[in-house]
Amino acid sequence: MKGVARRLKQDDNVNTDYVISGRYKFSIEDPKELARHIFEDIDPKFASRVKEGDFIVAGENFGCGSSREQAPQSIKAAGIKAVIAKSFARIFYRNAFNIGLCLIECDTDQINEGDSLEINLEKNRLKNITKNSLLPIRPIPPVMKKLLSDGGVIEHFKKYGGFKFDS
């Protein structure tokens, strides 16, 4: 995967209400419409800077707060290819993979806004093309990789009629 880094103004503890404000969660059902409002409360112009295939880059504990699926859904609907952070809240992590949104855990201190990045899930590394540097990433479990390749849990079920994972 290749894309451009989009850094958040708030780096650590980005909660799901920052991803998509509660004022939209209950009044807008279309994920594409929700995507137009991502991170509006911490960076009102964030959604307008995002291009298809970009990566969100953040710090520790990304996705803390409520467990509503609108947060990862709106990120995915915005065309974000992956979220790269030092760590993720557990329920956000699960919800993201359930809908086929890739999450990458690594040290993000040396990634700046606008850096060109390449992620290699097989080699467990992230290349910062702009800075010509390599960062190790935490390996994604095979089950989660399978869900990503299938587009999430629902698409996986449609494809196989239930859970099917090679051992």
Instruction: Summarize pLDDT for 68-118 with one digit per residue, the tens.
Output: 788 999 999 999 999 999 999 999 999 999 999 999 999 999 999 999 999
> Residue ranges per domain, the chain?
2-139
pLDDT value at 125 more than 80: yes
pLDDT tier at 66, thresholds 50, 70, 90: confident
Instruction: Categorize the per-residue pLDDT at 167 as very low, low, confident or very high, splitting at 50, 70 and 90.
Output: low
**pLDDT confidence bin for 22, thresholds 50/70/90:** confident
Average pLDDT over every residue of 21-33: 85
CATH topology of domain 2-139: Aconitase; domain 4 (3.20.19)
Range 16-31 average pLDDT: 86
Strand 102-105 and strand 82-85: the pairing is: parallel
